Copies of this chain bind each other. A is one copy, B any other.
Amino acid sequence: MFRDAGLVAGKDLRIELRSRVTLQQVLPFAVLVLILFGVALDPDRGILTRASAGLFWVAVLFCALLAIQRAFTIEAADGGRDALRLSGLEPGGIFLGKAMAIAAQLTAVEALLAVGVVIMYGTEVTGVPLLVATCVAATAGMAAAGTLYGVLAAGLRVRETLLPILLLPVLSPVLIGATKAFEAALGGVAADGWPWCGLLLTFALLYLTFGTLAFGTLLEES
């Protein structure tokens, strides 16, 4: 299974290498979202600084949406789905592989956004361990859930529009948890944050296991 995962992840990353989508398009988009918030929420009110945790994660969420969409546009290309189902790859492997590829890209996005938030919204960084742990857990969760729902939307020609409304509600716990954890970390009372981080972790594990098991069935629904 892990061999298959590696195969799929490798394939996706090679495609990224050739098309440079994340590098040249998703990352700038991330910065753009930060600026849009800045423009929309009049900076002088200090909303930005106080709400930076929330805004950060909303931005991550939108970027994740983009990355996941991209990951399944690749597969949806003509007959890709049938091909995958016939491939002999273990569904679990496909799931893990794509999740891994997505997670890798999300990590890059988060790193950039973190820098952006610190610089643009003037947030002071405290409680780094909690922040990092939160990012890891949240990323895993988003990638897992995203892959799961991405494959549902893949192959449908309404992918771009369907995926968001499938995915966002599912990810809202991640949004809440991560925001809370970040606020705790930035507020300096990391203790309040860890339980949220735990929530994220369970969410991630839940979706990873469920996805690994259920992906086969999902590939069925063509």
Contacts and interface: CB of A to CB of B under 8 A. Distances in A.
Copies in the complex: 2
A4 interface: no
A45 B50 contact: yes
A40 B54 contact: yes
B175 A40 contact: yes
Nearest to A78: B78
A70 B162 CA distance: 10
Interface in A50-86: 50-51, 54-55, 57-58, 61-62, 66, 69-70, 73, 77
Contacts of A69: 160-161
Interface in A24-39: 25-26, 28-29, 32-33, 35-37, 39
A21 interface: yes
Q: How large is the interface on A (under 10, 10 to 19, 20 to 34, 35 or more residues)?
A: 35 or more
Nearest to A158: B21
A168 interface: yes
A69 B161 CA distance: 9
A58 B36 contact: yes
16 contacts: A21-B161, A29-B161, A32-B164, A36-B175, A39-B175, A39-B176, A40-B51, A40-B54, A40-B57, A41-B47, A47-B47, A47-B50, A62-B62, A66-B164, A70-B161, A73-B157
